Each structure stands twice: as C-alpha cells, then as structure tokens.
Structure 1
C-alpha cells in the first residue's frame, strides 16, 4: 500500500533517489513525494524525555487545527500496548497515544470538524495512483 522507511531514512539525500525511483516504479506513495500533508508533531518524547502533554486529545485537536490543510493529512503516530518483555524507549508514550486515539470525545470532535479517518488502503480511492510517487 505504501513505501515506508524507519525514522524517515528515505529523506537522506544519499538514498532518496533510490526510494523515489522504487516508489515510482511500484506506483506506491512515499512521504514528501505525493499529495498528502505530513503531520509529525503528535509525538510524546524529545531527547529521551517524556512529554505526555503532547499526545493528549486536546493537543492532538490543536495540532490538527493548526497543521491540517485541504485534502489528505497523514498523522504520524506510534500507538500500542506494551508487553512486559518489550523493551523500547517509547513505551509509556505508545499506550498514551493509544488512549488518545481511542478517546470517544476525540472521535466526536473530529467528526464535528468533518475530519474522516482513513488508512493507506483508503488512499487508493482518495488519491489517483499515478500521483502516489
């Protein structure tokens, strides 16, 4: 459904041409090279320090109101449950993101603003395939 790179490594000028060529060849979306606005501010950690206020429902609405533009906006997020044996520097934040994204009041607020949630599968209907790369 899309071409992904961990920590946005595809933005590195040394490998970007290869990513763009592959995305074009496969007709797959690649961040920054397709008609989708990328919103990356919904993140709860900087310099190893947790910032749960950044991943609250209130802050997410604020971010969307400030950064969303007409059309499709991609929200970077890392929600999830953390098992006892799972070691990551972004544990508590994953669960906080999950709570925020599942918040019923947030859902209602998004609907009231005309914001429709989608995933990469839905993009095939929302965007022309040729514009993906």
Structure 2
C-alpha cells in the first residue's frame, strides 16, 4: 500500500514465478490471510494466448484484431476471464524483447471492431478490484 498509495488488487508475477512450489504455499497463505486474490487461484480463468512472440519470432497475426476477435469468440465463456496483454508505446532508447508488439496490442485493444464485439457478446470489462468478493482457492497441497 505504501509503495503505490493503494492496496493491491491482486497478486501475480512475471513469467508466473508465483507458481513455483517454493513460493506458492507462502503466497497463498498470505493471500488467504489478507483476502487479496492471486492469479490462478481466484476463480478467474486466465487467457494467455494474446501474445505475439514465440520461438524468437514476432507473430502479429496473433495480436491483431482478427486474432483477438477469434479469442473472444472461442475462449471467453461464462464466468470471469483474465486476458493477459502488454499494450504500450515503444520509447526510443528503451530496449525490450517485446517492443513493437506492444503497439500492435495497443491498437488492437482500442479498435472499434473489438469494442463492438465486446458489446455484442455482452462481455463486461472489470478488474480484480471488481470481483464479487476477494476469494482465494488454496489447494490442500499448498496448506
């Protein structure tokens, strides 16, 4: 809270390090104590297929409008689904292995066709802060 001026909405980690069995039990106990949801343990489906790079190559077709529309139609169902994305602008002088893809994602996410599909499919956009109640599903093996 002190670092950003607000309580955390949820916990996750870069490259899903929080799933490491040496880390996960401690994180889940903390989450259960605080009521802060953890990605993968909060009753929210995690959709990570909106990513435009693998095998050292860029795949803009995966993060373009047709790719996202396909994911919305085939991967989002009843309940809550979190879409992993990395939108942003490429800043001169900032080195990143996932740079140009960020701008493609940004343009895709802001595209009117995507907005229309979300409306048409009656998808409600929320954040972890909007979850009905802070839930943490702690598996027995992690207790």
User: TM-score, length-normalised on structure 2?
Assistant: 0.85
State the match for 1:3 in structure 2.
11
Q: Which of 63, 80, 85 is residue 88 of structure 2 equivalent to?
A: 80
Ranges in structure 2 where 5+ consecutive residues have no aligned partner: 1-8, 138-143
Deviation for aligned residue 1:6: 1.1
Task: Name which one, 1 or 2, has greater alpha-carbon Rg.
Answer: 2
Map of 2:126 onto structure 1:
118
**In 1: Cα distance, 2:75 partner to 2:87 partner:** 20
SS at match of 2:125: coil
3-state SS of 1:74 partner: strand
Question: How big is the shift at 1:64?
Answer: 2.0
Which one of 30, 46, 51 corresponds to residue 38 of structure 1?
Answer: 46
CA distances 1:4-29 after superposition (whole Å, capped 9, x unpaired): 21111011112111111121122111
Q: Does 1:128 align with 2:142?
A: no
Partner of 1:56: 64
The separation in 2 between residues aligned to 1:69 and 1:132, in whole angstroms, is: 21
- Equivalent residues in 2 for 1:82-101, closer than 5 Å: 82-101=90-109
Return structure 1 stretches of 4+ with deviation > 4 angstroms: none
Contact 2:28/2:136, CA 8 A, preserved across alignment? no
Higher helix content, 1 or 2: 1
Cα RMSD of the aligned pairs, angstroms, is: 1.2
Q: TM-score, normalised by structure 1?
A: 0.91
1:99 counterpart SS class:
helix
Count of paired positions: 129
Where structure 1 has 5 or more consecutive residues not aligned to the other structure, the ranges are none
